C-alpha cells in the first residue's frame, strides 16, 4: 500500500506537470476566436484596407445570442471593422479576464475597485486624455459640459484609464413617492413635507388600516437593505443632510464619511425608534428593489423611495393598473434645515479598454472614433439603439418609439443587436439624449425634480489606494452595524460608536486622509 | 569476487522474472485495462490537470502573466488570512459551528425517526410516510430556498402566522443573527431526515427477530427492548455514519447557505465556501482564495485519514 | 399475541407524530402550488394556503410563455438524460476493473482516484482547462468535466466486489472476456444499485447550476436552475419578467411560485417509478461503503 502510494504520487506529479505545460502555452493573454475570422478577410480586395478586428463585450446584460446581427453588420460596414463578440455574464466576466480573455471594449458596468486592480495588473489600457480629446471631441465636450471633473475618476497612479462617462439622469434625486389613496384614507392632504409629518404618516399607514381590509397588515415603509445600501431609508438620512454611504465635505474642508457622522447616528436613532414601534416592515433587510416595488404595488407599503424620476416615468402605467395614484414628494424638512434628496451623482466609472489596445495605435484610434460617433452621431445612435426606422421604430415628435413587437419583446431587440452591447453610451451623451426625452417625459421630469436640492457623494466613484484596499471590507462592516443598530433595542449610540472606532481602525482613517488630500487638490486645481 | 557477482546476477534475474511476471499479469487482465485506462486518462486530465494551480496559493495572481508567470509571494496570503484579515476567524468559526450544530441536532434526527418508523405496525402507512419524507431530498437548495423564504416570511409566511396566533411577535428567521443558524439546522434536518433513515432502516431490518422473542418471554418492555437490543444492533452503522460526518466538518453546506443568506446575517452565516465564492469569483482575489482552499483541503484530508484510521481500529471496513 | 392497551396507545401516538412530520414535509409544497394558482391579492395573504381560493392562471401563463423557461428545461433535460447515461456507462468501466482482486497494482490505481476526492486545482486552472478543451459555452461542459462522480463510482465498485466470483469463473471457462462478463453478467446483476446511482446522478444534474454560471454565457445554453435562481433568489429578472413584459409587478409571488413548481414537477413525476429501486440500492451501496 505504502509503496504504491509513493508510486502513484510520483506518476501524478509527472503527469500534472506535463499537463500544466500544455495548458500554460495557451495561457497567453490574447483573446481566442481570432483565427476563425481570418479566413474571411483574405478574400477581400487588396486595395481596400483590411478591417480592424475589435473584441467587444460592452454589456453583460444585453447580449445578442447570434453573430452578425443587424447592428453588427451596420457598424462593420460603416467603419470597416470586424467585431468579435465576447459574451459574458456579470458573474463570469472576471473569471474570463483572469483566464486571459480580455476584450478590447469592456462592459460598461465595471466597479471602481476592479478598475484599479486591472489597471495595476496591466489588464486595461491607459490612454492619454489628449488622445481621447483629439479623437472624441464631440463626446468629450458633452461629458465636460455635465461635469468638468469627469476625468478624475479614471486617474490611477497619474495615468488616465478608460473613457470618462457620466450618467445624465444620475444627478437627479430619489423621489419620495406615496400611495395617494392611502394618504386620503388616513386623512392626509398631500405628501408629508417635514420629518414630523412623515412620522405621523408612518403611524397612520401602520395603524389606521389604509387599505381598508380590517387587518393590520400594512407598513408605512420598507427599505432597500439587501443591495444598494446607499438607498436604504435615504429620505430620512437626507433630512439630516447626510447619506451613510457617501463621502461628505466637513465644514473645516476635510472629508468625512457619512456613516460615521453624528447626523447619521441621529437619523438612525429615529429609524430605530420607528422600527421598535413596528412602523417599518421587518423584512427591509432582505428587500431589494424588485421586492420593494412589489410591496408598493400590492399595497403592503405606502411609500417607496428607490426610484428616480425616469424610473417613475416608466412605472406610471403599472401604478395605474394596480389602482394606485402616486403622489410625488420632495425632500423632508428636518434637522438639515432644508429639504434634501439623495442622488447618485452623475459621475461613473469610465468605459475601459483592454491592454492590447494600448499597444495597437491603429486599433485604438479606430475604437475612439467609433465610440465618438456611437455617442454623438444621430444616425448611428438611432441605428444602434433603436434600429431601422419604419421597421423597428418610428419617430414621433422627434423621439423614436419602438414598433411592435420591439416595444415589449426584449428578445426581438437583442436579435437585432440593439442596445448596450454595441453602444455603451446609451443616455450618456448630451447630444443624443433628446431621443429619450419626449415632451411628456420632460414635463414629468420638471414636475418631479424642479427646485429639488440633492446631496451626492463629493468624490463620486473616485479611486485611491486606501479605498481600493479597504473599501469592500468596510462596506460589509457598515452593512452589518447599521442593520444591527436599526433593529437594536435602543443601542444605536453604542453600536454606531463601536462601528466608528472599528471603521477608523480597519483602514477608514487612511481612507479619510487620502480622500481629504484628493479633495483639497481638486479644490485647489479648480480655483 | 565470484561471490559478489553472483547475487547481482541473481538479483537481475529475479528482477527480470518479476518484470516478466508483472507483464504476464497485465497481459492477463488486458481487457480490464482496456476499460480502466480511458477513465484514468479522464481523471488525469480533469483532476490532475488543474492541480498546478495550487501554486497560486503562494503567488500574486496577475491575469496578464498567467499562473506560471505570476510573481511568488511566499506565505503572504496565509499571513494575511491568519493574522490580518478579520474575516478568517469568523468564517472558520462559522464553518465549524454550523457543522457541529448539524452533527449535534441533525445526526440523531434520522436515527430517531428510523426507530419510530420501525415500531410502526401499519405497514401501508409506514410506506406512505417514508415516501413523503424522502421528497425534499431530491430538490435543489435553489428551489427549497425559494420555498423556505416564503414559509418563514414575517409578513406572509405560515410559520409566523402560527406565532401570531400564539400571540408572539413575528420573527424574521432568515435575517436575524440570533435565529439564522438554527434556521439552517432546522431546514437541513427537514430536507434530509427522511432520506437519512434509509440506512438505519436497512440496519434495523437486519436485527435478528429471535432476540425480540426472547426478550418478550423475559418480560422486557418496549423501551427496554429498544435500549438493549435495537440500539446495540445498529450501533456499528451509527458509529460509521458519525465518524463520516466528523470527516466532513469543514463542509458546512455551500448550496444551502449560499441560497439562504443575506448581508444581514453574514456575521453568523459566512462560511469558508461562501467566502471563497465572494472573494474569488466576485472579487477576483484568486491567490487568496486558492490559499483558503488549500488550507481547507489539508484540514479535510487530515480529518478523513484520521477518522478512517479510527474506523479501522474499531474493526470496521474503512472508507478508503 | 394480542397487543396490550399500552401498545395500542403507543401506536396511536406514533401515527400522530409521523403524520405531523409528513404534514410539515409536504405542506410547503402545497402552499407554493396554491399560491402559484391564486390571484395576486390572495397570493400575498398572510396565513395558510391549502388550496387556491381565487384561481388565477396568469402567473402560470406568464411562466410558461417565457422562452427561457423552456430553453432551460430543454438543456436541463439534455444534461440529465445524456449525462446520466454516459456517467453510468463510464462509471461501470472504471469501477469494474478496480473491483477485481486480480487487477495488478489495484491499490495504486485506486489511490490515484481517491486522491482526487481531496485535492483540486481551483477555479482558474479549471477554467483554463475547460477553455483549452473548447468546452466553453458548450452543452458538453455540463457532462464531461463531471463524468465520473468518484463517490458513486466507489459505491459501484464495492457492489461489484460483493458479487460472487464463481459466477464469472464459469463464464471465463466458456471463453468470455472481462468486457463481456461485465456487460452480460455483472451489470444485469447490479440493476438496483445502478438504478440508485442513476437517480443520484440524474438529481444532481437536474439540480446543478454552478457550472452554468461559470462556463456558459449564451442564454440559449443555460439550464433551468440558473433561470430559477434569477427569478426566485436574486430577483434579477423582475425587470424583464414582471414589469416591462407584462407591465405588472404584482404577479411576482405567483410567478416565483409557479417557477418553483415547474422545476420540481419532473422529479415528482419520475419519483414513484424509481422509488422501489433506490431504497433497495442505497441499502446495498451504503452499507458496503
Q: Which of A195, A491, A224 is nearest to A339 (CA)?
A: A195
Domains of chain A: residue spans and CATH: 47-171+347-449 (3.40.190.10), 177-342+464-526 (3.40.190.10)
pTM of the model: 0.81
Residue C34, classified by CB atoms within 10 Å of its CB into exposed (0-12), middle (13-18) or buried (19+), is: buried
β-bridge pairing A159-160 and A163-166: unpaired
Cβ partners under 8 Å of residue A525, min gap 6: none
- With 90 as the cut, is the pLDDT of residue C192 above it? no
Q: Of A255-259, A470-474, C17-21, C259-263, give the lowest mean pLDDT range.
A: A470-474
For A202, A239, A241, A450, the CA distances from A335, given in Å and listed in that order, are 19, 6, 8, 22
What is the Cα A156 distance to its own chain's centre?
Answer: 20
Residue C86, classified by CB atoms within 10 Å of its CB into exposed (0-12), middle (13-18) or buried (19+), is: middle
- Distance of alpha carbon A510 from alpha carbon A499, whole angstroms: 16
Interchain CB distance below 8 Å, B283 and A472: yes
At residue C22, the pLDDT reads 94
- Distance of alpha carbon A138 from alpha carbon A425, whole angstroms: 13
Residue C126's domain spans which residues?
Answer: 57-288
Phi, psi of A166 (to 5 degrees): -125, 155
Is B284 touching A (CB cutoff 8 A)? yes
Instruction: Say if residue C66 is in the same domain as residue C49.
Output: no
Is A426 strand, coil or helix? coil
Interchain CB distance below 8 Å, B286 and A285: no
Instruction: Say if residue C21 is in the same domain as residue C122.
Output: no
- Distance of alpha carbon A145 from alpha carbon A143, whole angstroms: 5
Is B62 touching A (CB cutoff 8 A)? yes
Instruction: Say if residue C157 is in the same domain as residue C284.
Output: yes
- Distance of alpha carbon A209 from alpha carbon C209, whole angstroms: 43
Q: Which residues of A397-420 are buried (b: 16+ CB within 10 A; e: fewer)?
A: eebbebbeebeebebbbbebbbbb
Largest CA distance in chain B: 101
Cβ-contact A115, A463 below 8 angstroms: yes
3-state DSSP helix/strand/coil percent for chain A, to nearest 5? Answer: 50, 15, 35
Instruction: Say if residue C46 is in the same domain as residue C154.
Output: no
Instruction: Say if residue C39 is in the same domain as residue C170.
Output: no
Instruction: Say if residue C125 is in the same domain as residue C21.
Output: no
| Residues of A at the B interface, defined by Cβ within 8 angstroms | 12, 15-17, 19-20, 23-24, 27-29, 91-92, 94-95, 97-100, 102, 114, 117, 121-123, 217, 225-226, 229, 281-283, 285-286, 300, 355, 472-473, 476, 479-480, 483-484, 487, 506
Collect contacts of C40-46 with beta carbons under 8 A, ≥24 apart.
Answer: C40/A298, C40/C250, C40/C251, C40/C253, C40/C254, C41/A298, C43/C253, C43/C254, C43/C257, C44/A298, C44/A300, C44/B156, C44/C253, C45/B156, C46/A215, C46/A217, C46/B155, C46/B156, C46/B160, C46/B161, C46/B164
- pLDDT tens per residue, range C193-209: 888 888 889 989 999 98
Helix H or strand E encompassing A340: strand A340-342
Is C175 touching B (CB cutoff 8 A)? no
Phi-psi region of B149 (alpha: psi -120 to 50; beta: other; left: phi over 0): alpha
Cβ partners under 8 Å of residue C19, min gap 6: B129
Indicate the pLDDT class of residue B8, thresholds 50, 70 and 90: low
Select from A99, A318, A410 the Cβ nearest to the Cβ of C128: A99
Q: Which residues of B11-43 are buried (b: 16+ CB within 10 A; e: fewer)?
A: eeeeeeeeeeeeeeeeeebebbbebbeebbebb
Q: Is the peptide bond before B14 cis (omega within 30 degrees of 0)?
A: no
Q: Find cell 442596445 and name the residue.
A: A419
Is A246 strand, coil or helix? coil
- Distance of alpha carbon B283 from alpha carbon B165, whole angstroms: 45
Taking CA–CA distances from B178, the nearest residue in chain A reads A484
C35, C56, C77: which is the final residue of a domain?
A: C56
Instruction: Say if residue C219 is in the same domain as residue C253.
Output: yes
Interchain CB distance below 8 Å, B44 and A19: yes
Helix H or strand E encompassing C17: helix C5-36
Instruction: Say if residue C42 is in the same domain as residue C89.
Output: no
Cβ-contact A507, A469 below 8 angstroms: yes
Full pLDDT tens readout for chain A, 527 residues: 444 444 444 444 444 444 444 444 433 334 443 333 443 444 444 446 789 999 999 988 888 888 999 999 999 999 999 999 998 888 888 888 988 889 999 998 888 888 988 888 889 999 999 999 999 999 999 999 888 888 888 888 888 999 999 988 888 999 999 999 999 999 998 999 999 999 999 999 999 999 888 888 899 999 998 878 889 999 999 999 999 999 999 888 899 999 999 999 999 999 999 999 999 998 898 888 888 888 898 888 999 999 999 889 888 888 888 889 999 999 999 999 999 999 988 888 999 999 999 999 999 999 999 999 999 999 999 999 999 999 999 998 889 999 988 887 778 888 899 988 999 999 889 899 899 888 889 899 999 988 889 999 988 888 887 887 788 778 888 988 999 899 888 899 999 999 999 999 888 999 999 999 988 887 887 66
What is the Cα C213 distance to its own chain's centre?
Answer: 18
Instruction: Say if residue C136 is in the same domain as residue C254.
Output: yes
Number of folded domains that form chain C: 2
Instruction: Say if residue C210 is in the same domain as residue C230.
Output: yes
Is C65 touching A (CB cutoff 8 A)? no
Best interface-test mutation with C: which of B28, B147, B286 has the largest number of C CBs within 10 A? B147
Interchain CB distance below 8 Å, B42 and C103: no
Domains of chain B: residue spans and CATH: 76-313 (1.10.3720.10)
Instruction: Say if residue C83 is in the same domain as residue C216.
Output: yes
Phi, psi of A174 (to 5 degrees): -80, 135
| CATH code of C253's domain | 1.10.3720.10
Instruction: Say if residue C39 is in the same domain as residue C77.
Output: no
β-bridge pairing A81-85 and A52-56: parallel
For A511, B251, B302, the CA distances from B107, given in Å and listed in that order, are 48, 15, 22
- Distance of alpha carbon C223 from alpha carbon C200, whole angstroms: 18
Select from A87, A300, A318 the Cβ nearest to the Cβ of C243: A318
Amino acid at each position: 500500500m505504502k509503496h504504491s502510494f509513493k508510486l502513484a504520487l510520483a506518476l501524478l506529479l509527472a503527469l500534472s506537470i506535463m499537463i500544466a505545460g500544455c495548458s500554460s502555452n495557451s495561457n497567453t493573454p490574447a483573446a481566442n476566436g481570432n483565427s476563425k475570422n481570418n479566413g474571411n478577410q483574405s478574400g477581400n480586395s487588396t486595395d481596400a484596407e483590411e478591417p480592424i478586428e475589435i473584441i467587444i463585450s460592452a454589456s453583460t446584460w444585453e447580449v445578442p445570442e447570434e453573430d452578425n446581427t443587424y447592428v453588427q453588420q451596420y457598424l462593420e460596414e460603416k467603419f470597416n471593422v470586424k467585431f468579435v463578440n465576447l459574451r459574458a455574464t456579470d458573474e463570469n466576466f472576471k473569471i474570463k479576464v483572469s483566464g486571459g480573455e480580455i476584450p478590447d471594449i469592456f462592459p460598461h458596468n465595471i466597479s471602481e475597485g476592479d478598475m484599479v486592480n486591472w489597471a495595476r495588473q496591466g489588464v486595461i489600457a491607459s490612454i492619454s486624455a489628449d488622445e481621447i480629446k483629439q479623437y472624441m471631441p464631440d463626446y468629450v465636450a458633452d461629458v465636460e459640459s455635465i461635469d468638468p471633473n469627469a476625468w478624475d475618476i479614471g486617474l490611477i497612479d497619474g495615468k488616465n484609464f478608460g473613457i470618462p462617462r457620466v450618467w445624465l439622469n444620475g444627478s437627479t434625486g430619489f423621489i419620495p413617492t406615496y400611495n395617494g389613496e392611502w394618504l386620503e384614507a388616513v386623512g392626509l392632504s398631500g405628501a408629508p413635507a417635514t420629518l414630523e409629518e412623515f412620522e405621523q404618516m408612518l403611524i397612520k399607514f401602520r395603524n389606521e388600516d389604509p387599505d381598508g381590509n380590517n387587518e393590520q397588515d400594512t407598513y408605512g415603509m420598507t427599505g432597500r437593505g439587501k443591495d444598494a445600501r446607499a438607498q436604504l431609508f435615504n429620505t430620512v438620512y437626507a433630512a439630516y443632510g447626510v447619506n451613510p454611504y457617501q463621502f461628505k465635505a466637513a465644514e473645516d474642508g476635510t472629508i468625512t464619511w457619512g456613516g460615521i457622522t453624528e447626523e447619521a447616528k441621529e437619523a438612525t436613532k429615529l429609524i430605530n425608534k420607528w422600527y421598535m414601534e413596528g412602523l417599518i416592515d421587518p423584512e427591509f433587510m432582505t428587500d431589494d428593489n424588485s421586492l420593494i416595488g412589489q410591496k408598493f404595488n400590492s399595497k403592503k407599503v405606502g411609500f417607496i423611495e428607490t426610484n428616480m424620476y425616469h424610473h417613475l416615468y416608466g412605472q406610471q402605467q403599472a401604478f395605474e393598473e394596480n389602482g394606485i395614484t402616486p403622489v410625488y414628494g420632495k425632500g423632508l424638512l428636518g434637522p438639515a434645515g432644508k429639504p434634501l434628496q439623495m442622488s447618485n451623482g452623475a459621475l461613473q466609472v469610465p468605459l475601459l479598454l483592454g491592454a492590447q489596445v494600448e499597444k495597437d495605435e491603429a486599433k485604438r484610434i479606430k475604437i475612439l472614433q467609433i465610440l465618438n460617433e456611437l455617442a454623438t452621431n444621430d444616425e448611428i445612435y438611432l441605428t444602434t439603439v433603436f434600429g431601422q426606422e419604419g421597421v423597428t421604430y418610428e419617430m414621433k415628435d422627434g423621439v423614436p418609439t419602438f414598433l411592435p413587437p420591439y416595444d415589449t419583446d426584449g428578445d426581438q431587440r437583442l436579435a437585432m443587436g440593439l442596445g448596450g452591447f454595441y453602444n455603451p453610451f446609451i443616455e450618456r451623451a448630451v447630444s443624443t439624449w433628446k431621443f429619450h426625452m419626449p415632451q411628456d417625459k420632460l414635463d414629468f421630469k420638471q414636475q418631479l425634480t424642479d427646485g429639488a436640492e440633492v446631496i451626492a457623494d463629493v468624490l463620486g466613484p473616485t479611486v485611491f489606494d486606501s479605498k481600493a484596499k479597504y473599501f469592500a471590507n468596510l462596506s460589509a462592516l457598515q452593512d452589518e452595524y447599521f442593520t444591527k443598530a436599526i433593529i437594536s433595542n435602543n443601542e444605536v449610540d453604542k453600536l454606531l460608536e463601536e462601528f466608528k472606532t472599528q471603521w477608523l481602525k480597519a483602514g477608514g482613517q487612511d481612507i479619510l486622509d487620502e480622500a481629504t488630500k484628493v479633495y483639497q487638490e481638486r479644490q485647489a486645481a479648480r480655483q | 569476487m565470484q561471490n559478489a557477482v553472483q547475487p547481482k546476477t541473481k538479483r537481475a534475474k529475479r528482477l527480470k522474472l518479476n518484470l516478466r511476471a508483472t507483464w504476464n499479469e497485465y497481459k492477463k487482465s488486458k481487457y480490464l485495462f482496456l476499460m480502466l485506462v480511458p477513465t484514468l486518462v479522464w481523471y488525469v486530465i480533469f483532476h490532475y490537470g488543474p492541480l498546478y494551480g495550487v501554486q497560486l496559493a503562494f503567488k500574486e495572481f496577475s491575469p496578464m502573466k498567467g499562473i506560471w508567470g505570476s510573481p511568488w509571494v511566499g506565505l503572504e496570503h496565509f499571513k494575511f488570512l491568519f493574522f490580518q484579515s478579520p474575516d478568517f476567524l469568523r468564517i472558520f468559526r462559522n464553518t465549524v459551528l454550523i457543522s457541529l450544530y448539524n452533527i449535534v441536532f441533525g445526526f440523531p434526527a434520522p436515527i430517531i425517526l428510523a426507530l419510530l418508523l420501525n415500531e410502526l405496525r401499519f405497514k401501508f402507512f409506514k410506506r406512505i410516510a417514508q415516501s413523503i419524507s424522502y421528497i425534499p431530498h431530491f430538490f435543489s437548495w435553489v428551489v427549497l430556498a425559494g420555498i423556505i423564504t416564503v414559509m418563514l416570511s414575517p409578513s406572509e409566511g405560515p410559520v409566523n402566522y402560527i406565532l401570531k396566533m400564539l400571540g408572539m411577535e413575528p420573527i424574521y428567521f432568515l435575517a436575524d443573527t440570533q435565529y439564522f443558524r438554527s434556521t439552517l439546522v432546522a431546514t437541513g434536518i427537514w430536507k434530509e431526515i427522511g432520506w437519512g433513515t434509509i440506512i438505519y432502516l436497512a440496519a434495523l431490518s437486519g436485527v435478528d427477530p429471535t432476540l425480540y422473542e426472547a426478550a418478550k418471554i423475559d418480560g422486557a418492555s418496549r423501551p427496554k427492548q429498544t435500549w438493549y437490543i435495537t440500539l446495540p444492533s445498529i450501533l456499528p452503522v451509527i458509529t460509521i455514519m458519525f465518524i463520516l460526518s466528523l470527516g466532513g466538518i469543514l463542509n458546512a453546506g455551500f448550496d444551502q447557505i449560499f441560497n439562504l443568506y443575506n448581508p444581514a446575517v453574514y456575521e453568523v452565516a459566512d462560511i469558508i465556501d461562501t467566502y471563497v465564492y465572494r472573494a474569488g469569483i466576485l472579487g477576483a482575489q484568486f491567490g487568496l482564495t486558492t490559499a483558503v482552499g488549500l488550507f481547507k483541503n489539508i484540514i479535510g484530508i487530515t480529518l478523513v485519514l484520521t477518522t478512517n484510521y479510527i474506523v479501522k481500529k474499531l474493526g470496521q471496513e474503512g472508507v478508503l | 399475541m394480542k397487543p396490550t392497551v399500552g401498545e395500542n396507545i403507543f401506536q396511536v401516538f406514533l401515527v400522530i407524530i409521523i403524520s405531523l412530520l409528513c404534514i410539515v414535509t409536504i405542506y410547503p409544497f402545497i402552499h407554493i402550488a396554491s399560491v402559484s394558482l391564486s390571484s395576486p391579492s390572495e397570493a400575498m395573504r398572510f396565513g395558510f394556503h391549502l388550496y387556491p381560493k381565487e384561481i388565477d392562471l396568469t402567473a402560470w401563463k406568464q411562466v410558461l410563455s417565457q422562452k427561457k423557461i423552456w430553453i432551460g428545461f430543454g438543456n436541463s433535460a439534455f444534461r440529465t438524460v445524456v449525462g446520466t447515461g454516459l456517467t453510468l456507462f463510464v462509471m461501470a468501466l472504471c469501477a469494474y476493473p478496480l473491483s477485481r482482486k486480480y487487477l495488478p497494482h489495484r491499490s495504486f490505481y485506486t489511490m490515484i482516484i481517491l486522491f482526487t476526492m481531496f485535492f483540486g486545482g481551483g477555479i482558474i486552472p479549471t477554467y483554463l482547462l475547460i477553455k483549452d478543451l473548447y468546452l466553453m459555452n458548450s452543452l458538453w461542459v455540463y457532462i464531461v468535466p463531471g463524468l465520473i462522480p468518484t463517490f458513486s463510482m466507489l459505491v459501484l465498485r464495492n457492489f461489484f466486489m460483493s458479487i460472487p466470483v464463481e459466477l464469472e469463473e464459469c463464464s471465463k471457462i466458456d471463453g468470455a472476456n472481462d468486457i463481456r462478463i461485465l456487460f452480460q453478467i455483472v451489470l444485469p446483476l447490479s440493476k438496483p444499485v445502478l438504478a440508485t446511482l442513476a437517480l443520484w446522478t440524474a438529481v444532481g444534474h437536474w439540480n446543478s447550476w454552478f457550472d452554468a454560471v461559470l462556463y456558459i454565457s449564451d442564454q440559449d445554453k443555460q439550464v433551468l436552475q440558473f433561470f430559477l435562481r434569477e427569478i426566485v433568489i436574486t430577483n434579477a429578472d423582475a425587470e424583464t419578467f414582471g414589469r416591462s413584459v407584462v407591465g405588472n409587478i404584482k404577479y411576482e409571488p405567483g410567478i416565483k411560485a409557479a417557477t418553483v413548481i415547474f422545476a420540481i414537477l419532473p422529479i415528482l413525476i419520475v419519483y414513484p417509478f424509481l422509488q422501489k429501486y433506490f431504497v433497495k440500492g442505497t441499502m446495498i451501496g451504503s452499507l458496503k461503503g
